């Protein structure tokens, strides 16, 4: 009883060390999505890329312009 526990624990430790070494530096985050900018064509205000159509329409209303005049290039995110 207990004779093999020490060896097992040592093996476990070795394995953990190997796994940690394999991981290496954290993988780079993809920033492509975040780099897309959303700018109102009418007043050139930077909008959050995450804005939904409702929020953008509310902004267009503030400008007194139709949605298409402010964000002609806007596309719904569901496109994949």
Which residues sit opposite 46 in a β-bridge?
A: 39
41 is an interface residue for Zn ion by CB under 5 A: no
43 is an interface residue for Zn ion by CB under 5 A: yes
CA distance 55 to 60: 9
56 is an interface residue for Zn ion by CB under 5 A: no
Quote the least distance from Cβ 36 to Zn ion, whole Å.
18
63 is an interface residue for Zn ion by CB under 5 A: yes
Query: What does the block give as tokens for 15?
Result: 């394995």
42 is an interface residue for Zn ion by CB under 5 A: yes
How many angstroms separate the Cα of 52 from the Cα of each of 59, 70, 75? 11, 14, 10
74 is an interface residue for Zn ion by CB under 5 A: no
**Which run of H or of E encompasses 47?**
strand 46-47
Task: Name the residues that contact Zn ion, by CB under 5 A.
Answer: 40, 42-43, 45, 63, 70
């Amino acid at each position: 009883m207990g004779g093999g526990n020490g060896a097992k624990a040592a093996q476990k430790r070795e394995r953990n060390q190997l796994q940690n070494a394999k991981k290496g530096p954290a993988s780079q985050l993809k920033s492509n999505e975040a780099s897309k900018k959303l700018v109102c064509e009418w007043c050139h205000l930077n909008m959050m890329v995450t804005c939904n159509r409702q929020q953008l329409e509310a902004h267009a209303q503030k400008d007194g312009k139709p949605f298409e005049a402010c964000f002609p290039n806007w596309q719904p995110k569901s496109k994949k």
